[in-house]
Every structure is written in structure tokens, then in C-alpha cells.
Amino acid sequence: MGTCTLIQAALPRILNDVPEEFFDKTKKHLEETSSVMFERLSAIPCLKPIKPVGAMYMLVGIDMEKLEGMKDDHDFTRQLMAEESVFLLPASVFLYPNFFRVVLLAPVELMVEATERISVFCQRHMRKESS
């Protein structure tokens, strides 16, 4: 979990030689994907996304009480991968149980498709009394 010495050596050149437009484009993309993901994930009843500020990932809370057949974020992410081919990182690895982390770097079209698959998965596993 320590810093990568290769990146440390490259940082001065990256920060000095990469055109500012690259960073502007990257920040704009992250703002767009975070807005799209926040809006779409907020519409799923068992999920509670936290809109990032200056990050390239988003944490999303999972209301496990509303879902059947899984006990925690590990079960949720494992079953989502198996059933819908969407990979999310269980945030309990960062000491945030019953959250998952999604990286916001993919193209918006892929992020939209991922949220559609997550929605279908959650609907399939929603407890009858929670629907």
C-alpha cells in the first residue's frame, strides 16, 4: 500500500510537461461521470451513493435489509459480478462495511450500462416487502 517509486520519479515530469488541457479534460470527465452515476444510483431503492468531491471513485451504501440472499458488501459485489458482470470493490476492505466503491474513469456510456445492470440485479434481489 506504499507509494510507487516509479510514479514518484515520474511525477515532476508529469506535472510540468503534461498540457493543462489534459487535466481539464480529465476533471470534466470525472465531474460528468460522478453526476451521472450519482443520479442513476440514487434511483435504486437499496443504494445510497455519496457524491464525490475531487475523487475518481464513488462510495455507495447498500441497505442490506432490503435485499435477500446476501449478508454484506462482499456477498453483494460477488453476486453482482457473477450475475451481471459488473465488478465493484467491497468497501469493507477500507473499513466501510456495506458500501461498495466504483471507479469513475470509464466512458459515460459504460457507466450507464453498469448502472442498468446494477438496477436489474437489485430489483431481482429486493425483498418483497421492500419493493
Tell me if 103 sits within 8 A of 57, measured CB to CB. Answer: yes
* pLDDT tens, per residue, the chain with 131 residues: 566 778 888 889 888 999 999 999 999 999 999 999 999 999 999 999 999 988 899 999 999 999 999 999 999 999 999 999 999 999 999 999 999 999 999 999 999 999 999 999 999 999 987 55
Overall fold of domain 5-130 = Aspartate Aminotransferase, domain 1 (3.90.1150)
pTM: 0.86
Q: Which are the contacts of 85, defined by CB distance < 8 A and separation ≥ 6?
A: 117
Q: Are 121 and 79 in contact (CB under 8 A)?
A: yes
